[in-house]
């Protein structure tokens, strides 16, 4: 399997369930801890010209966002883990990176159905358009239709699919390499450090895509940007190439720290669930 001797056979539903629990837990912990940094990043990216950044209400929209982050993270990891296992079983060992990259992209597509409406509501609240998540959902649907909740969906996929695929691929490949060198399983701090590294690199690479995604999502019924290409052309023409790196510092900080927390919590939760499962199996054998 190429991952340090893990069993080749696996129970698909069990892996899906445990992945969902671990993913949901990790997602909620990260979002709660780092939400203010994400808010600052969103406001920096949404600002045009000499607009001043509002520093109040850095937790605006957190409760509503958690309601979306929990199922989205659960869906992502719940799909990623069994897909990864199946691909690792099918592909040659030297193509493990392809398995990780592909599983990350597939997990991202599945999670996007929940992630995008959550992101739209969150960013509208972060930029002061709405005060409460239920009001945001109701008014967005009333004014823009159901499709308003999927504003910027194309740019979201353009950013998040490569992001998910690259981040998980880097993380998994670094873990494989580290295990081979250390000749042992990794401990919690090591998983967290590798997660931070993978997150920071991926966050920096995908910042231009994130800027376009933010602009498209927060414009609402506005017609400043008619799509991804037009958005890129308009930003370049009106603000110059540096505008594509707006918010890169808080983004790299947020995703780097977030990667550390997410992967640390993810691996810890997965190991706890595996230990519980093993105890239950031993108990059944002893009966």
Question: pLDDT value at position 9?
Answer: 58
Q: Has residue 76 got a pLDDT over 70? A: yes
**3-state SS, residue 128:** coil
Any residues with CB less than 8 A from the CB of 21 and at least 6 apart, and which?
74, 269, 273
Count of domains in the chain?
A: 1
Confidence grade of residue 1 (pLDDT, cut at 50, 70, 90):
very low
* Residue 6 exposed, middle or buried by CB count within 10 Å (0-12, 13-18, 19+): exposed
- What pTM was estimated for this model as a whole? 0.76
What is the span of the domain harbouring residue 208? 22-271
Q: Is residue 5 part of a domain?
A: no
Average pLDDT over residues 215-240: 85
Residue 191 and residue 261 in contact, taking contact as beta carbons nearer than 8 Å: no
CATH number at residue 51: 1.50.40.10
Confidence grade of residue 87 (pLDDT, cut at 50, 70, 90):
very high
**3-state SS, residue 116:** helix
Q: Is residue 278 part of a domain?
A: no
Q: Is residue 158 part of a domain?
A: yes
Per-residue pLDDT tens over the stretch 143-195: 989 888 998 788 778 878 888 999 999 999 999 999 999 999 999 999 999 99
Question: pLDDT value at position 244?
Answer: 94
Q: Is residue 93 part of a domain?
A: yes
Any residues with CB less than 8 A from the CB of 130 and at least 6 apart, and which?
61, 121, 124, 136, 139
């Amino acid at each position: 399997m190429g991952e340090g001797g893990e069993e080749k056979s696996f129970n698909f539903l069990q892996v899906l369930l445990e992945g969902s629990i671990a993913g949901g837990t990790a997602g909620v912990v990260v979002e709660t801890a780092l939400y203010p940094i994400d808010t600052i990043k969103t406001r920096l990216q949404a600002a045009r010209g000499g607009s001043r950044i509002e520093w109040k209400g850095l937790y605006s929209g957190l409760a509503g966002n958690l309601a979306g982050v929990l199922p989205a993270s659960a869906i992502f990891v719940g799909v990623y883990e069994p897909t990864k296992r199946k691909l690792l079983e099918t592909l040659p060992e030297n193509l493990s990176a392809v398995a990780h990259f592909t599983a990350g992209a597939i997990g991202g597509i599945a999670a996007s159905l929940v992630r995008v409406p959550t992101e739209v509501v969150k960013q509208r609240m972060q930029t002061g358009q709405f005060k409460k998540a239920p009001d945001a959902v109701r008014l967005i649907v009333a004014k823009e239709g159901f499709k308003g909740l999927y504003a910027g969906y194309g740019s979201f996929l353009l950013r998040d699919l490569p992001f998910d695929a690259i981040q998980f691929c880097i993380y998994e490949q670094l873990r494989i390499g580290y295990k081979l060198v250390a000749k042992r399983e990794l401990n919690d701090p090591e998983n967290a450090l590798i997660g931070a590294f993978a997150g920071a690199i991926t966050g920096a690479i995908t910042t231009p895509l994130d800027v376009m995604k933010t602009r498209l999502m927060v414009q609402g019924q506005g017609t400043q940007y008619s799509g991804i290409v037009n958005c890129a052309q308009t930003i370049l023409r009106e603000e110059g190439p540096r505008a594509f790196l707006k918010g890169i510092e808080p983004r790299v900080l947020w995703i780097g720290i977030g990667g550390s927390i997410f992967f640390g919590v993810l691996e810890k939760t997965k190991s706890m669930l595996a230990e519980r499962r093993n105890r239950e199996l031993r108990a059944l054998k002893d009966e």
